[in-house]
Amino acid sequence: MSQNANYGADQIQVLEGLEAVQKRPAMYIGSTDDRGLHHLVYEVVDNSIDEALAGHCDTIEVTLHEDSSVSVSDDGRGIPVDMHSEYDRPALEVIMTVLHAGGKFDNKSYQVSGGLHGVGVSVVNALSQWLDVEVKRDGYVYEHGFDHGEPKGDLRELRPMDEGEETGTTIQFWPDTEIFETTTYDFSTLETRLRELAFLNPGVEIALIDEREDAETRFQYEGGIREFVAYLNETRTPLHEEIVYLDGTEDDIQVEIALHATDGVQGSIHAFANNINTREGGTHMTGFKTALTRVINEYAASHGMGTDLDGNLTGEDIREGLTGVLSIKHPDPQFEGQTKTKLGNSEVRGIVEGLIHEQFTAYLEEHPDTAEAIVGKAVEAAKARLAAKKAEELTRRKSALGSSSLPGKLADCQSRDPELSEIFIVEGDSAGGSAKQARNPEFQAILPLFGKVLNAEKHRLDKVLENEKIRDLITALGTGIGDEFDIDDTRYHKIIIMSDADVDGAHIRTLYLTFLYRQMPELLENGYVYAAQPPLYRVRHNGETYDVMTEAEREQIIEEVCDGSPDQVQRFKGLGEMNPQQLWETTMNPESRILKRITVEDAAAADKMFSVLMGDAVAPRKEFIKEHSDDAEWVDI
């Protein structure tokens, strides 16, 4: 009797917890759109990764089922099933139904997953219509099901484990369609994150199996972040043979860095804390940058390099063309910042700085060829910086950003409220003319820009700024550039690139996106950048008009709506062929247009993509485009 009463009380507490998640899901997983949906998978996978990091699991399999459910399976110890003393319920049930219960069950002090995710697998349970757990442990196979987070009956003992059968956990869940805006998983989004996890956790094999499409990928990298850097540099030209790798542990904080200098002008250092991409940086990044700048300057000074420069090598000089991955694992990470992707632990700065300073100094002494390459490249970058300065780079910059007068080609909107204002960057003067007639001048500005701009992937900022179109664009956006860039000065919160729906149009769009990504990434991170989607065809039938975006859609409309014989099919070869009314209806009117927001959710993936798309190597580019033609429609296909 008293046991029952206890159980009742616990149950009430449990329900309150999960109800809170169901009421305000965004508080726990960020959002209920496709990002939130994918976070469910990451949350479950994080638990298996923890098991792997504790040394008990080496394979994790994620399976996308045809019924929109996902299962995550691992060969770890299995979630404990014994009675939990406080709750008087099996531990598995408590882990699945009590918020943040996961960690409390384990004596391991070193739980790594955290931050953005790490809210506990009970959150996934609360947000699933159904969830089934199968555990193989202590010689038996157990199973427990849940319905909207509530246990369906009790934990069941299914059968004894077979001889040689491995322990492990499988969690299958069906996301709640009443909570999520979509329940369609994107293979390549998951693939990118799982690949990243495999790089960050060397040796762990992670598979993604898509039963909807019959596709499967497996990742396993013994070389860890060294292989991550090699992957990021696939289409870049390295300046030294061996990838620099440094690691160490202090106060239970594990630090790793891999570096490889290239002949490019884009530097990219990606920082992770507990497997989370800390896009906003933080104390680990600060410690690393400080150490890097010191070590390189000390090496240059003691080896007589760069003596003709007046002044030190700056951090930017040193990071030019440098690709790196910094990964730390901390027993109690604190995440801060707007998107909770900035590491806040103050003690980390000194630990990373000290460790890198000591080890990198020693490394350079032992590898003089590598040292020569890295320091030499920094010296070259510094020289270019000083030369650019001399060549009136500053005045050029000033005219690009400082001048208060807007470019003559800009037809600005009346609104001065950036949140309401849009700018269309339109390819070609004739399309620009149409767009100017078509627009709603209250909130829509038009900037016609003709033809291609310099590839920002291959040229330093001062070269890119020689281009008048780019200067017009910067002035119109109002943000300034380089050190002076300020997101708060953005004059429009919708920056819409409108180019033709053909290969040339896609190329021009990619060039502008490359510029924005390399020089003003904050615009993309804030979700201000869009691609307009002009239609390819207009089909008329029985007095109705259908604008279609793709060949497949055209065939479908003709087949299904027009019974194979439409009255008229008009092909739009370019934006310029539409009259202003058509352009307004199909591409500009907020009521009827389709805009594609360009996001860079995963910075390392975006970095890789732009380097592949805009770099020198041709074969990897073709391969990449072939692989990603579905999800990167705006790319130059």
Question: Which residues contribute to the site for ligand 0RA (CB under 6 A)?
Answer: 47-48, 51, 74, 76-77, 79-80, 105-106, 169
Question: Contact, 600 vs 606, CB < 8 A?
Answer: yes
Burial 408-427 (b: 16+ CB within 10 A, else e): ebbbbbebeebeebbbbbbb
Cα gap 514→506, rounded to integer Å: 12
Least spacing, CB of residue 51 vs ligand 0RA, in Å: 4
Q: Choosing from 106, 250, 429, 504, which is the catalytic residue?
A: 504
| Closest to ligand 0RA by CB, 138 or 429 | 138
**Which run of H or E residues covers position 610?**
helix 603-614
| Closest to ligand 0RA by CB, 101 or 425 | 101
Least spacing, CB of residue 84 vs ligand 0RA, in Å: 11
Least spacing, CB of residue 212 vs ligand 0RA, in Å: 23
User: Among all chains, which residue has been given the structure tokens 């103050």?
Assistant: 346
Q: For this structure, is 427 an active site residue? A: yes
| Closest to ligand 0RA by CB, 52 or 411 | 52
Name the token pair of 118: 């790490």
Least spacing, CB of residue 207 vs ligand 0RA, in Å: 15
Name the token pair of 480: 């300034």
Q: Spell out the residues 6+ positions from residue 38 whose beta carbon is closer than 8 angstroms to its own.
A: 185, 186, 189, 190, 193
* Nearest position to ligand 0RA, beta carbon: 47
List, as one string, the DSSP characters of 512-551.
HHHHHHHH-HHHHHTT-EEEE---SEEEEETTEEEEESSH
Q: Choosing from 427, 525, 602, 607, which is the catalytic residue?
A: 427
Least spacing, CB of residue 394 vs ligand 0RA, in Å: 56
Least spacing, CB of residue 72 vs ligand 0RA, in Å: 7
| Closest to ligand 0RA by CB, 134 or 457 | 134
How, if at all, do strands 205-210 and 59-64 pair? parallel
Question: Contact, 87 vs 10, CB < 8 A?
Answer: yes
Cα gap 441→421, rounded to integer Å: 10
Q: Spell out the residues 6+ positions from residue 460 whose beta carbon is closer than 8 angstroms to its own.
A: 265, 384, 388
Size of the chain, expressed as the number of residues it contains? 637
| Closest to ligand 0RA by CB, 137 or 357 | 137
How many C-beta neighbours within 10 Å does residue 179 have? 20
| Closest to ligand 0RA by CB, 46 or 227 | 46
Q: Spell out the residues 6+ positions from residue 403 whose beta carbon is closer than 8 angstroms to its own.
A: 475
| Closest to ligand 0RA by CB, 168 or 535 | 168
Q: For this structure, is 504 an active site residue? A: yes
Least spacing, CB of residue 256 vs ligand 0RA, in Å: 24
Least spacing, CB of residue 103 vs ligand 0RA, in Å: 8
- Quick one: how far is CA 311 from the chain centroid? 37
Q: Choosing from 61, 227, 412, 500, which is the catalytic residue?
A: 500
Name the token pair of 544: 């109705």
Q: For this structure, is 486 an active site residue? A: no
Residue type, 585: E
Residue type, 223: G
- Report residue 433: phi and psi, to 5°: -65, -45
Q: For this structure, is 34 an active site residue? A: no
| Closest to ligand 0RA by CB, 47 or 587 | 47
Q: Spell out the residues 6+ positions from residue 322 whose beta carbon is closer than 8 angstroms to its own.
A: 259, 260, 261, 262, 267, 268, 269, 374, 377
Least spacing, CB of residue 79 vs ligand 0RA, in Å: 4
Q: Spell out the residues 6+ positions from residue 358 whose beta carbon is closer than 8 angstroms to its own.
A: none
Q: Choosing from 205, 372, 502, 633, which is the catalytic residue?
A: 502
| Closest to ligand 0RA by CB, 75 or 602 | 75
Residues annotated as catalytic (active site), given as ranges: 427, 500, 502, 504
